[in-house]
């Protein structure tokens, strides 16, 4: 388990100015210098085109050279000894056959057009070695740190950090591995650099300008020496984080390179993330990728908490989360411009942040009552509650539902097309408003004296459980049993801010709060009794959010000290 750590607010290393074409051309060998431009080369051919082919095969591990040493790949993994420069000899034939076999091309030992065309595509600089998972190269721990030495001028530092978080998230989702950013002064395990040309790894690993090699990364220790695990990105490329990209998709490339930094070699499976060539955005793990990384680090252990995972963003207040299907998560936050933003997990990867507009003055709430349906609520500038919903094809609203509320609303649903909303009124009473499938009710006063926003969940038809802090900062429970309201029940604790609640089965409740030490605490109802308070760690600066999308599964979200949103889950 790792805690949310305070990140440095200053960039580690000098941020690069936007590069120019002239600057890039001054640096080292270019991709065009070693890319064959003519096909038809075969045994006995000689000249510059053969030299280009041999250099290409050498650069990517098909002919023996010290390139293999720099990446921690033993020389005996090379398919052929070094060739006679400029002569298409038997070593060149052997290396080219292996290249063709690796990539599923006709194994002719001659440079046909299909082989030459593939060589012209952008790719990773790591060599193509015979084994997918090599030597058991792996970190001897599961809580890994990373830091930035240089950034790119193509994107803001926030965009780069978000891309890194998404890229690590693919590996985090299927293994016990966790990743957290630390300053360079803390000696991160993985150093991320945006650089050009010869950047200190040796001339054989110099970047080659636009096209060609996009990035490279080094195996975990002891391979790679001082740069073990480090990930370098060619800043001569134009980097993008949008879909569709306006350049090369940074998330896809980083996710691939982090695979190397964790101990994976290249895969021969063309639609895997670890295939060496880039052909556009690839933001998911193939089963081959998952099998490879789990062979090194194992699977997520059932019955344990995992995270915290940094999901980026710069948010104000508590997040909200809903789920309308297994492995589907939809998160909503208030951004620094008071707009509502949306980020979702589709079962394999996290999206970016979608701006849903509005002008909201407090945290939102969200719930799903059916497949592909989401209902969100938030306070507006007039302190009324507003409603925005996804109807399965587009977002609708904002709808003004009135009221004069303090803080965030809460919402639950116990049936299709049923919504129950709860708010703290200006008299510190809890109020209830519901949608019955055709119309909204008025505001019902449920009493109590609550000092923060409430939370609500439904675990069965006509059942609602609400939670809120009282004047003694204990958590209180009020519930609708199908015929009348009951409570308030004092559940103890000393909490800051609003609680969060989820339910993964009938008569099961899981509550989460921020404690006075800024750790997240957990208390649950097992159908017959309440547990004590479990300390789940982290350093959270606002109230959490929680949702369950399946039996014994809980996903929690909370803002960390850098105002990013963090994710912790129970498998």
pTM of structure: 0.61
Cβ neighbors of 19 (< 8 A, separation 6 or more) are 153, 196, 235, 236
**Residue 482 buriedness (CB in 10 A; 0-12 / 13-18 / 19+):** exposed
- CATH match of 305-570 with 2.120.10.70: yes
Same fold, 133-297 and 305-570: no
pLDDT in tens, the chain (571 residues): 222 222 222 233 333 433 433 222 233 468 888 899 999 999 999 999 999 999 999 999 999 988 888 888 877 777 799 999 999 999 999 999 999 999 999 999 999 999 999 999 999 999 998 654 445 579 999 889 999 999 999 999 989 998 998 899 889 878 888 888 889 999 999 999 999 999 988 777 899 999 999 999 999 998 878 899 999 999 999 999 988 899 999 999 999 999 999 999 999 999 999 999 999 999 888 989 999 999 999 987 667 888 788 888 899 999 999 999 999 999 999 999 999 999 999 988 899 999 999 999 999 999 999 999 999 999 999 999 999 999 999 999 999 999 999 999 999 999 999 999 999 999 999 999 999 999 999 999 999 999 999 999 999 999 999 999 999 999 999 999 999 999 999 999 999 999 999 999 999 999 999 999 999 999 999 999 999 999 998 889 999 999 999 999 999 999 988 889 999 999 8
Look up residue 176 and give its two tokens. Answer: 């016990």
Task: State the chain's maximal CA–CA distance in angstroms.
Answer: 92
For position 413, what pLDDT does the model report? 98
Task: List strand residue ranges (DSSP E) for 436-544, in order.
Answer: 444-445, 455-457, 464-469, 475-480, 485-490, 495-502, 509-515, 520-525, 534-535
Locate all alpha helices (DSSP H) within 31-154, ordered by sequence. Answer: 48-59, 67-70, 90-102, 113-119
- Of 257, 309, 452, 542, which residue is the catalytic one? 257
> Kind of pairing, strands 553-559 and 565-570?
antiparallel
Tell the CATH superfamily of the 30-120 domain: PGBD-like superfamily/PGBD (1.10.101.10)
CA 129/CA 83 separation, integer angstroms: 18
CA distances from 60 to 55, 172, 266, 341, 560 (A): 9, 28, 11, 42, 41
Tell the CATH superfamily of the 133-297 domain: Collagenase (Catalytic Domain) (3.40.390.10)
Ordered by start, the domain boundaries in the chain are 30-120, 133-297, 305-570
For position 131, what pLDDT does the model report? 56
Q: Positive or negative, the Cα torsion across 290, 295, 301, 307?
A: negative
Closest CA to 405 of 375, 444, 431: 431
> Annotated catalytic, 452?
no
For position 376, what pLDDT does the model report? 98
H or E element in which residue 250 lies: helix 250-262
Neighbours of 479 (CB within 10 A): 19
């Amino acid at each position: 388990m790792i805690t949310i750590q305070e990140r440095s607010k200053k960039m580690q290393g000098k941020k690069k100015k936007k590069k120019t074409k002239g600057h890039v051309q001054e640096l080292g060998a270019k991709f065009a210098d070693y890319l064959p431009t003519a096909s038809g080369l075969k045994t006995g051919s000689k000249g510059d085109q053969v030299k280009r082919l041999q250099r290409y095969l050498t650069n990517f591990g098909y002919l023996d050279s010290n390139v293999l040493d720099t990446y921690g790949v033993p020389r005996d993994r090379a398919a052929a000894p070094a060739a006679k420069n400029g002569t298409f000899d038997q070593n060149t034939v052997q290396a080219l056959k292996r290249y063709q076999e690796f990539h599923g091309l006709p194994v002719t030992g001659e440079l046909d057009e299909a082989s030459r065309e593939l060589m012209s595509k952008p790719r990773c600089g790591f060599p193509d070695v015979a084994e997918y998972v090599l030597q058991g190269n792996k970190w001897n721990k599961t809580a890994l740190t990373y830091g930035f030495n240089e950034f790119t001028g193509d994107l803001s530092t926030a965009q780069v950090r978000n891309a890194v978080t998404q890229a690590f998230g693919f590996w985090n989702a299927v293994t016990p591995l966790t990743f957290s950013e630390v300053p360079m002064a803390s000696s991160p395990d993985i150093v991320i650099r945006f650089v050009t040309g010869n950047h200190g790894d040796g001339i054989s690993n110099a970047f080659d300008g636009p096209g060609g090699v996009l990035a490279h990364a080094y195996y975990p220790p002891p391979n790679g020496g001082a740069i073990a695990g480090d990930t370098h990105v060619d800043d001569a490329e134009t980097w993008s984080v949008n879909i569709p990209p306006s350049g090369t998709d940074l998330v896809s490339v980083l996710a691939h390179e982090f695979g190397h930094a964790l101990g994976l070699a290249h895969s021969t499976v063309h639609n895997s993330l670890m295939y060496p060539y880039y052909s556009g955005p690839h933001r998911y793990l193939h089963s081959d990728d998952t099998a490879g990384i789990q062979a090194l680090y194992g699977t997520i252990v059932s019955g344990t908490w995992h995270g915290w995972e940094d999901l980026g963003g710069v948010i104000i207040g508590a997040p909200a989360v809903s789920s309308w299907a297994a492995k589907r998560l939809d998160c909503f936050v208030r951004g620094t411009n008071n707009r509502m933003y949306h980020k979702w997990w589709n079962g394999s990867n996290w999206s970016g942040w979608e701006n849903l507009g509005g002008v909201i003055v407090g945290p939102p709430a969200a719930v799903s009552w059916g497949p592909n349906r989401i209902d969100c609520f938030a306070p507006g500038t007039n302190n009324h509650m507003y409603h925005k919903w996804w109807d399965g094809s587009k977002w609708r609203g904002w709808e003004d539902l009135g009221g004069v509320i303090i803080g965030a609303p809460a919402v639950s649903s116990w049936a299709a097309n049923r919504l129950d909303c709860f708010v703290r009124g200006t008299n510190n009473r809890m109020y209830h408003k519901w949608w019955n499938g055709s119309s909204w009710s008025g505001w019902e006063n449920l009493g109590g004296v609550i000092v923060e926003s409430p939370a609500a969940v439904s675990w069965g038809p006509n059942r609602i459980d609400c939670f809120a802090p009282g004047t003694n900062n204990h958590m209180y429970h009020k519930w609708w049993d199908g015929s009348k309201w009951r409570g308030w029940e004092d559940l103890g604790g000393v909490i800051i801010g609003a609680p969060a609640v989820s339910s993964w089965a009938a008569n099961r409740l899981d509550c989460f709060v921020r404690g006075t030490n800024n750790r997240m605490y957990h208390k649950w109802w097992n159908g017959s009794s309440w547990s004590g308070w479990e300390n789940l760690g982290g350093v959270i600066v606002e109230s959490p959010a929680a949702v369950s999308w399946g039996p014994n599964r809980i996903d929690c979200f909370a803002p960390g000290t850098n105002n990013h949103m963090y994710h912790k889950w129970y498998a």
